[in-house]
Amino acid sequence: MPELLQLDRVVGAYAKWAPIYDLVFGPVFRQGRRAAIDAAENIGGRILEVGVGTGISLPGYSPVNRITGVDISEPMLAKARRRVAALGLDHIERIDVMDAERLDFADDSFDVAVAQYVITAVPHPERALDELARVVRPGGEIVITTRVGAGDGMRGAIEKVMMPVTGRLGFRTDFPWTRYLDWMAQNPSVELVERRELPPLGHFALLRFRKLNPAAREILQ
């Protein structure tokens, strides 16, 4: 399937978003971010937040957890670093430029991997999902907040038509649930544990996937 998002365009788009991102996207995703942090902290421990952006979620994590944040956009991360320093968030261990599709971490490095409003912003979402699954330990979770595309029907058609426009703004509108189903079918190491609607308008969702340990995987196969 051809991908309409290109990494250099995404980087360019978020360089422009960085100065105003919190103002535009702060309140609208607040409930979703809280839900994602709560889900991640139910597991707790070493938490990776991919696409951490300006670090808007970072003050929400309890200091008992250790957080690593990565993002492809240096201007977004510059704001995150300033936030961490200003608020003295000592439990934020690392903030680094990194591509979600090529994470520079060993397998099974984290208890939880979080991606908030990121899966629809990367050029190859399935590659990013593969990487999230790789770096989480067996028994750990992948927590995603995202817009779920409509797929077929009028809304799906509108989403496809809008892609060239939203692609230039740094996100896609056309990533339907069937892409997650296909990804899960290719990845027997993960199981869906929750799909919950999020505001605004129920067009967004909280998704939780658990990485199975090898024994559980054998029983299920």
Ligand X SMILES: C[S@@+](CC[C@H](N)C(=O)[O-])C[C@H]1O[C@@H](n2cnc3c(N)ncnc32)[C@H](O)[C@@H]1O
Binding residues for ligand X (CB under 6 A)? 10, 14, 25, 29, 33, 50-53, 56-57, 71-73, 76, 99-101, 116-118, 121-122
CA-based torsion, 152, 157, 159, 163: positive or negative: positive
Q: Which is nearer to ligand X, 95 or 212 (CB)?
A: 95
Rounded CA gap, 91 and 45, in Å?
Answer: 11
Residues 6 or more apart from 194 whose CB is under 8 A from it? 39, 206, 207, 208
Token code pair at residue 82? 């300033």
Considering the complex, what minimum distance in angstroms separates the CB of residue 22 from ligand X? 8
- Distance of alpha carbon 193 from alpha carbon 180, whole angstroms: 13
- Residue closer to ligand X by CB (options 55, 212) is 55
Token pair of 43 as six digits: 């597991």
Nearer to ligand X, 50 or 212 (CB): 50
Q: Which is nearer to ligand X, 117 or 180 (CB)?
A: 117
Angstrom distance (rounded) from CA 210 to CA 218: 15
As given in the structure block, the two tokens for residue 51 are 């696409």
Nearer to ligand X, 104 or 188 (CB): 104
Cβ of residue 154: shortest distance to ligand X, in angstroms? 25
- Least Å distance, CB 39 to ligand X, is 14
According to DSSP, the residues that pair with 112 across neighbouring strands are 47, 141
With respect to ligand X, which residue has the nearer C-beta, 119 or 190? Answer: 119
Residue 93 CB, nearest distance to ligand X (Å)? 18
Reported residue count of the chain is 221
**Radius of gyration (C-alpha) of the chain in whole angstroms:** 17
- Round to whole Å and give the CA distance between 116 and 74: 17
Instruction: Provide, rounded to whole angstroms, the least separation between the CB of residue 101 and ligand X.
Output: 5
CA–CA dist 201, 108 (Å, integer) = 35
We find the least distance from the C-beta atom of residue 61 to ligand X, in angstroms, to be: 13
